[in-house]
Structure 1
Amino acid sequence: MPSRRTALSLLAGTTAATAALTLGAPGARARTAHPFGRHGSPARRRDPRTLYVDPYGRGDHTDVQSAVDAATGTGRTLVIAPGVYRATVLVPAAREGLTLIGASGDARDTALVYGNAAGTPKPDGSGTLGTSGSASVTVQAAGFTARDLTFANDWLRSDNPEYTGTQAVAVKVQGDRSAFHGCRFLGHQDTLYADSLALTSFARHYYRDCYVEGDVDFVFGRASAVFDRCHFRTLTRTDLASAPYGFVFAPSTAGANPYGFLVLRSRVTSTAPDAYYKLARPWVPSSDLTARPMLTVRDSHLGPGIDAVSPYATMSAGFPWQDQRFAEHRNTGPGARVTVPANRPQLTAAEARAHTPARWLSAAR
């Protein structure tokens, strides 16, 4: 029986207590005779730039980090067989154009996971890891692509009540032109860190058909990030007796960057009581007090878990959400009802024409 620490669900929309598949028990596909599916194998390599990863030794590598280290140069591909890969992974800037593919085509079968938190002590005793250091996977390379993979951080507050640093990042993405297709991001606080390599670097990210779950600020950072047809799931908390439980988005867009987070054709659902979550709050970090966070949510369905009366909140005194770049357009659902117009800034049709993936991701912007 896996410990509670390793029992974060790999099934979208379930909790650790009810999961049918846990991080400690890889699915049956991990033991099939053809672990790499339609993507070839070391014996029938689809091209010389492809490497194969399998925890049972049927590939070129048994762990993801050693495969990343071996994938020198640019434009390499790693095909990853079903299984749970419990280790931190760093994709450095030198691995430009690297692609990671979950071999089965189903992100639930292949998980990259670890369990550090911001308050986890560093091995050398020099302090704690901090938010960035907690990431299970860190991507610094430009042109990175991931398909059909789960990125998870299964550190739990309930197992570590003495911790004050409870941020626990599943993936930190810093590279420009990063794309995720059909991926899942599982955690609690600070699940998906959509970032850039520097304050003056305006990294572009694209997330399509992805699933993200968490509770506090679980999609955050300063990237110019497009979330297209994604599913955001807010989780129940047992450590709080009242609302709010948390916030879906916490952008920290640089003031000079005209493009922050764009969410479109997506949905927000919840396992928590109605109105127990805010849609967003702005993050103005101490490292960039000139940040002016930006979030546009459009053509999306907001479930009853979102507080329709007051969907936004202020994170830091002196930086009210009303002074930031928050806007909505043509959203539906009980969490999108405009009951207090001043609390729900809306784009006009003319303004909305500029809030598109093409504008956010254009190389010529």
Structure 2
Amino acid sequence: MAGLPVALAAAGALAYGTAFGLFGEDARTTAGAAAPAWAEEAADGFASVDALGQKGTYGGRGGPVVTVRTLADLEKYATAPGPHVIVVAGAIPVNPVGKEIKVASDKTIIGSGTSGHIVGGGFFLGPGVHNVIIRNLTIRDTYQGVWNDKDHDFDAVQMDGAHHVWIDHNDLRHMADGLIDSRKDTSYVTVSWNRLGNNNKTFGIGWTENTTADLTIHHNWFRETEQRNPSTDNAAHAHLYNNYLQDDPGTAVTSAYGNYARGRTAMVLENSYFQGLTNPVIKDATASLVQRGNVFSGTRGRNESGGTGFDPRRFYPYTLDAAADVPAIVTAGAGPRSALGTPRAAATRTLTVAKDGSGQFTSVQKAVDAVPAGNSSRVVIQVKPGTYREAVKVPSNKPHVTLQGMGASRKDTVLVEGRASGTPRPDGSGTYGTGGSATLAVEADDFQARNLTVANDFDEARNQHLTGHQAVALRTAADRVLLDALIISGDQDTLLLDTAAKDRPGRVRLTNSYVIGNVDFVFGRATAVIDRSVLTLKKRWDGTSAGYVTAPSTPAGRKGFLITRSTVNGDVTAGSFFLGRPWHAGGDATLDPQTTVRDSVLSAAVRPAPWTDMGGFSWKDDRFAEYRNTGPGAGPAGADRPHLTDAQAADQEIADWLGDWTPAAG
């Protein structure tokens, strides 16, 4: 296909996107509908044991499923009588910071896909509270600036005298006190598949003179945590297995110790992996600690055991993973999962496009035309390999459409057209304009595209006589648009991320993709996340190197562009490209353009002062910033290169951009 640079020969090596969960219903119950599988799941380990009148831990199973997006609704249902399955959709800020949300018995609180965040607070399970599942959430950011904080008891999950609790697949981090505190005879607890990080006092167990607590702790990833990993005091039975404890050298956090058994604790520690820790396993004289099959890599200091322990299989069955495999297994599997907390997918209808006539349609537009207006369930248009030279428009009355390339690579299925803003329309009604030049125009909500190349191969060199060389490959003017595993190729104005109107939302997530261009090649007023992608810089038609990656035109009070975990590179001259400039479309001074580039790799092509003015508007009056970028094009903070603080960065994460929407597969 014309216009694809040689550098894209390796594009197929970029991993295709994973599945994401659908966002839930508005805050209302869905009793009577078939419950998804995750709402029926029960705990393993000690939380599965029948005791204290409770038969295992299954949370709100059988109760109504309700989706919440506000703190008021979360508190309402968390304390409601009877079983409830509470789905947290989006980031919920907690006010005042440090507040611990009370949870009553028989509750499942679960994040919707990866979108469920509790920001600035946590949960409290008081005496007698039982049968609670806290799952698939990110709970973060009560930290008050004091590392060993003695004044703020702000935990992610605190349990005082509770029993039968399952804490599973969460991301717990950056709290003022503990990430998990299991206190005052709390028992029959399983803590599994969590990420615990960026914290001092991580996981404390005890605060009692009794020896009654039984806990299972498995497949958790402890990273950048100083102490209590966990610290286990007076536990009758503490079974720890297949956990990964990692202390990276040269970071701000150095471990004081790893697993700690004290008091009259009986601990069995099996097939865990300790990497780089100081004092990886310690015990006091009164505790019993039995080790089996653990791996210690680069550790130093105390590594202790002794006593008789117990046989966990007397209480429940379990299967051990090989300790050598634990780092790979746990890093891949711990933390929130996109498939959890999401409703059953509606039945889909499939249409097939093939150039050779072997499908239902020979053009993509004809398949789009066949989608019924106002359709309420997913329609997947499968496009067989080939080059389809056509302009395609998905109109606003046809939501829930997916374009799916069926080739082995995103390069196998190509949708391409070659018109620019100044190209005359065939009917003589003027030129196409920038928006009208798009090869693929998406005006319908809940659109998805996967495994395709979308290109505009307008030839600037041969069309210098035209006024208006903007040539859009892909234009979105809709909300909840997921673009995954694509190549989006052009020169000037490649990717227009817009909204249907200035006062309408337009959220886009682009992931695992390549975007190629030179001048303002990611632009518009949408709220867009570009994640795990490559922004490929391209020379201009005359062979010169000069350009701008982004030109946001964000309305005030909205989020603009977030580029995260991505790479900016290309075969261009060093120091020749800006990361962005403010586009005040039509001279609109009320706009507040925003681009944040964080946790990304910047090549030497990026200018040392990466932002610049546009159309008489200063970038310094708008919102442009970086955070924790690396590579030769990254640079220190300064007047011409603002960096976010840690606190500011905590409010500029993917969930903050997408709100109550979790991009979905299918």
The equivalent residue for 1:41 is none
Structure 1 CA distance, aligned partners of 2:427 and 2:382? Answer: 34
Specify which of 500, 504, 509 is matched with residue 201 of structure 1: 504
Structure 1 CA distance, aligned partners of 2:7 and 2:543? Answer: 23
1:325 partner letter: R
- In the TM superposition, 1:106-125 aligns within 5 A as 106-125=409-428
Structure 2 CA distance, aligned partners of 1:197 and 1:96? Answer: 13
1:59 partner letter: G
Deviation at 1:174, TM superposition (A): 1.0
Structure 2 CA distance, aligned partners of 1:53 and 1:252? Answer: 36
2:614 matched to 1:315?
yes
Q: Say if 2:597 and 2:626, in contact at 8 Å, map to a contact too.
A: yes
2:651 matched to 1:359?
no
The equivalent residue for 1:335 is 633
Unaligned 5+ residue runs, structure 1?
Answer: 1-5, 15-46
The equivalent residue for 1:182 is 485
Larger Cα Rg: Structure 1 or Structure 2? 2
Deviation at 1:61, TM superposition (A): 0.3
Specify which of 600, 603, 613 is matched with residue 300 of structure 1: 600
SS in 1 for 2:411: helix
Specify which of 8, 24, 46 is matched with residue 3 of structure 2: 8
Q: Say if 2:418 and 2:456, in contact at 8 Å, map to a contact too.
A: yes
Q: State the Cα deviation string for residues 127-167 of structure 1 (Å, max 9, x = none).
A: 21110111111000100011101110000211111122000
Q: Say if 1:174 and 1:195, in contact at 8 Å, map to a contact too.
A: yes
SS in 2 for 1:183: strand
Q: Percent identity?
A: 44
Specify which of 536, 556, 570 is matched with residue 233 of structure 1: 536
- In the TM superposition, 1:127-276 aligns within 5 A as 127-239=430-542, 245-257=546-558, 259-276=559-576
SS in 2 for 1:336: coil
Deviation at 1:288, TM superposition (A): 3.6
Q: Say if 2:460 and 2:541, in contact at 8 Å, map to a contact too.
A: no
The equivalent residue for 1:43 is none
- In the TM superposition, 1:17-32 aligns within 5 A as none
Deviation at 1:331, TM superposition (A): 0.3
SS in 1 for 2:393: strand
Q: Say if 1:11 and 1:108, in contact at 8 Å, map to a contact too.
A: no
Q: Say if 2:457 and 2:490, in contact at 8 Å, map to a contact too.
A: yes
Specify which of 281, 293, 308 is matched with residue 581 of structure 2: 281
1:292 partner letter: D
Unaligned 5+ residue runs, structure 2?
Answer: 10-346, 662-666
Structure 2 CA distance, aligned partners of 1:289 and 1:106? Answer: 43
Q: Say if 1:12 and 1:211, in contact at 8 Å, map to a contact too.
A: no
SS in 2 for 1:286: helix
SS in 1 for 2:358: coil
The equivalent residue for 1:59 is 359
Structure 1 CA distance, aligned partners of 2:358 and 2:626? Answer: 49
Deviation at 1:123, TM superposition (A): 2.2
SS in 2 for 1:131: helix
Q: State the Cα deviation string for residues 77-133 of structure 1 (Å, max 9, x = none).
A: 101000011010000111111111111242110011100100101223232111011
Higher strand share: 2
Structure 1 CA distance, aligned partners of 2:615 and 2:587? Answer: 14
Cα distance change, pair 238–180 in 1 and its aligned pair in 2 (3 A): closer
Q: State the Cα deviation string for residues 53-98 of structure 1 (Å, max 9, x = none).
A: 0000000001000000002123211010000110100001111111
1:93 partner letter: S
SS in 2 for 1:108: coil
2:320 matched to 1:325?
no
The equivalent residue for 2:405 is 102
Deviation at 1:12, TM superposition (A): 4.7
Q: Say if 1:254 and 1:288, in contact at 8 Å, map to a contact too.
A: no
Deviation at 1:289, TM superposition (A): 3.3
TM-score by length of 1: 0.85
- In the TM superposition, 1:30-49 aligns within 5 A as 49=349
SS in 2 for 1:334: coil
Structure 1 CA distance, aligned partners of 2:551 and 2:641? Answer: 16
Structure 1 CA distance, aligned partners of 2:479 and 2:437? Answer: 21
